[in-house]
Every structure is written in C-alpha cells, then in structure tokens.
Amino acid sequence: MAKDYFGVKEFYDKSKMFKPFLDRLNGFREDLGKKVFLTSSNSPAQKHVATSDHPGGYAVDFTTEENSPRRVYELMVKHGFGGIGLYRTADRRYYYHCAFGGKDISDKWLGYVDAKGNIKYKALDEKVLKKFFGEEV
Ligand SMILES: [Zn+2]
C-alpha cells in the first residue's frame, strides 16, 4: 500500500473522494516518483461535463514535475485508470485528467483548445499520442 501523498487542502472535500480511487492515485504517484499537483478534484462548482466523474470524487486533474507526458500516460494506463485525459496549454504545459472508471470507463481522450477558444476532445490512438508527445518523425 502506497503512502498518502495528497493533503486535505489539495481537494475540495477529501472526505468525499472515492477511497479506492485515492488508493489508486497514491499508487500511481508512488510509481511516478515525481510531485503531482492537483488542479481540480470534486468541487461541484467547477465546470465539468454532465457525466463527469469529478463531483462524485472519482476523478482529479493534475500537473506534475514529470517532464515526459508519455511516461505519465503509460503509468496512468498501468495503474488502471478508466478515464484518462491529456491536455496541453497554448504555452505547451501539459496537464492530465484521470478517473477511476465507472461511467466513463475506458474513455481516453485528448483535450485541446480550438481556434475559438473552446475545449474540444478527440479519442486517443497511437497516432494522436505520438503527435501529443512530440514524437512525430
Ligand atoms: Zn478532469
């Protein structure tokens, strides 16, 4: 069992987070070996899609000290998260969504901002991943 890497202040309400999800998140954090900063957890006030796993405490968004987005992605897959979102800001900073599963089980997507400033989503496949990870030849 991994230690608990995430403090109460990092969550909207840590006591209402789904415990098996937190256990999985800590296992991922331990394996990663780099700091993880939660940017969104279970706040009902933050904007999420209607089927979001956030309000129920089944998902977080985060940034990390880890510089390799592929390593972050592969460890999220390894630890069995059912929902994985990859995002990159205009200044090329990466951030991530991970969810326990359930409603959004095995959903993996890339989020990006279109020309009008709206967040759009597309399904992940290896081609999309390579582009996102900057591995194009
Ligand atoms: Zn999210």
Q: pTM for the whole thing?
A: 0.85
- What is the tally of structural domains in the chain? 1
Say if 137 falls within a structural domain: no
Span from the CA of 48 to the centroid of ligand 1 (angstroms): 7
Say if 32 falls within a structural domain: yes
Find the DSSP H helices in the chain.
Answer: 19-32, 69-78, 126-132
Span from the CA of 104 to the centroid of ligand 1 (angstroms): 11
Say if 4 falls within a structural domain: no
Say if 5 falls within a structural domain: no
Range with the largest mean pLDDT of 7-16, 43-52, 73-82, 105-114: 7-16
Predicted confidence at residue 48, as pLDDT, reads 63
What CATH number should be reported for the domain holding residue 14? 3.30.1380
Predicted confidence at residue 106, as pLDDT, reads 53
Span from the CA of 47 to the centroid of ligand 1 (angstroms): 10
Span from the CA of 42 to the centroid of ligand 1 (angstroms): 9
Span from the CA of 60 to the centroid of ligand 1 (angstroms): 5
State both tokens at 74: 């592969």
Say if 121 falls within a structural domain: yes
Span from the CA of 18 to the centroid of ligand 1 (angstroms): 15
Q: Provide the pLDDT confidence category of residue 49 given band limits of 50, 70 and 90.
A: low
Predicted confidence at residue 104, as pLDDT, reads 46
Whole-angstrom distance, CA of residue 108 vs CA of residue 18: 20
Span from the CA of 59 to the centroid of ligand 1 (angstroms): 6
| Residue 124 lies in domain | 10-42+53-132
- Triad 127, 133, 134: Cα angle to 5°: 90
Span from the CA of 87 to the centroid of ligand 1 (angstroms): 10
Please give the average per-residue pLDDT across 16-29, as a whole number.
Answer: 96
Say if 3 falls within a structural domain: no
Say if 126 falls within a structural domain: yes
